[in-house]
């Protein structure tokens, strides 16, 4: 195998590693972002997600242990299925927004880059006598995203196997001698797959997918596609000041009928009251020629009612689209707001 730095240079030329845009989210020139966007949405796009966090939980009590820390039902999660969830602190604020995959003999927590030590420390804080071992696999397993309308049929033909169609379902297969875990995700409106493989095979896997017809894509393309789908990233659109119901993914990430878990009292109180004071929504800027910066103020009648968290030029709209927290009463689609970039309007997502 050639030097991994060669792969990193190629990925930079194709649009940058996932960690690069996560840690430095300012826009960059990746050459052909529109063509990359079209691949991620309409054809088959390929994105390097190598630095995303992957924590593996093993031991007989792993499901019970994570169930008691998660907003989702984990104990009844069947092998081969997954769940979106939050991990909360005792006050009910979001410490992590994660995907949980039930694998043979283990549970996998998957989320944005750089969260491994932080989440492992959080889990260890509540580990008393349970038979559970938490191992940070972020450096052991690489991840690539394959997405686009043609991605399911294309990837199934390439690996010569039936792939999961249900959200977050996953299967262990192989591409030649490279073992893969293929996980269905909906980061973009067209959907796609997170492909995890041992890190030592990352370069060969990238080249195999690229050579088979997947187009390498970078930050601009993925950012536009995930905003059009309304997909939030922890660290950009969610942080430890947020309550889970503010993110607006209750049906996907919260079980209101499961037993006790860390932070449940706050979640249950909000559910009983019926609302939170702000919500994460889509906002577009029909007259703007550039995307607003995170933190850009949104106003109504001269009063601040919200702030932008992430934004990009939406190819589908032809103008900027953002995720933003907007005060209740101003969050409904069609609500018109003001901004330093001109008029803004709350919009339903996904587009």
Determine the average pLDDT of the residues in 32-56.
93
CATH architecture classification, 53-136: 2-Layer Sandwich (3.30)
Sign of CA dihedral 331, 93, 194, 113: positive
Q: What is the pTM of this model?
A: 0.90
Residue 259 is predicted with a pLDDT of 86
Domain boundary assignment for the chain: 4-52+139-228, 53-136, 277-351
Q: Which fold has domain 277-351?
A: Elongation Factor Tu (Ef-tu); domain 3 (2.40.30)
Q: Which fold has domain 4-52+139-228?
A: Gyrase A; domain 2 (3.30.1360)
Residue 273 is predicted with a pLDDT of 87
Determine the average pLDDT of the residues in 299-312.
98
Residue 149 is predicted with a pLDDT of 97
pLDDT tens per residue, range 58-113: 999 999 999 999 999 999 999 999 999 999 999 999 999 999 999 999 999 999 99
């Amino acid at each position: 195998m050639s030097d991994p730095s060669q792969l990193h240079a190629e990925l930079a030329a194709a649009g940058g590693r996932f960690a690069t845009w996560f840690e430095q989210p300012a826009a960059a020139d990746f050459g052909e972002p529109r063509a990359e966007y079209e691949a991620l949405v309409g054809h088959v796009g390929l994105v390097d997600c190598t630095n995303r966090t992957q924590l593996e939980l093993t031991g007989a009590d792993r499901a019970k242990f994570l169930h008691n820390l998660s907003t989702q039902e984990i104990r009844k999660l069947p092998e081969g299925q997954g769940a979106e969830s939050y991990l909360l602190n005792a006050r009910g604020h979001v410490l992590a927004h994660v995907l949980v995959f039930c694998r043979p003999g283990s549970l996998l927590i998957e989320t944005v880059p750089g969260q491994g030590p932080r989440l492992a420390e959080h889990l260890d804080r509540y580990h008393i006598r349970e038979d559970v071992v938490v191992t940070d696999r972020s450096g052991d397993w690489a991840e690539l995203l394959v997405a686009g309308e043609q991605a399911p049929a294309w990837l199934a033909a390439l690996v010569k196997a039936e792939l999961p169609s249900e959200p977050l379902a996953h299967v262990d297969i192989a591409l030649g001698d490279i073992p893969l875990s293929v996980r269905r995700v909906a980061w973009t409106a067209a959907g796609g797959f997170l492909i995890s493989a041992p890190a030592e095979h990352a370069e060969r896997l990238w080249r195999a997918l690229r050579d088979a017809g997947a187009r390498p894509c970078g930050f601009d393309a993925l950012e536009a596609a995930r905003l059009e789908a309304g997909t939030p990233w922890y660290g950009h659109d969610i942080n430890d000041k947020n309550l889970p119901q503010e993110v607006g993914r209750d049906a996907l990430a919260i079980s209101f009928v499961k037993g006790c878990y860390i932070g449940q009292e706050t979640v249950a109180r909000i559910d009983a009251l019926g609302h939170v004071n702000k919500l994460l929504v889509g906002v577009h800027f029909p007259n703007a020629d550039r995307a607003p910066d995170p933190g850009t103020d949104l106003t109504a009648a001269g009063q601040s009612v919200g702030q932008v968290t992430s934004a990009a030029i939406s190819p589908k709209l032809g103008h900027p689209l953002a995720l933003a927290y907007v005060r209740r009463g101003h969050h409904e689609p069609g609500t018109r707001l003001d901004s330093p970039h001109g008029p803004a309007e709350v919009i339903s997502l996904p587009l």
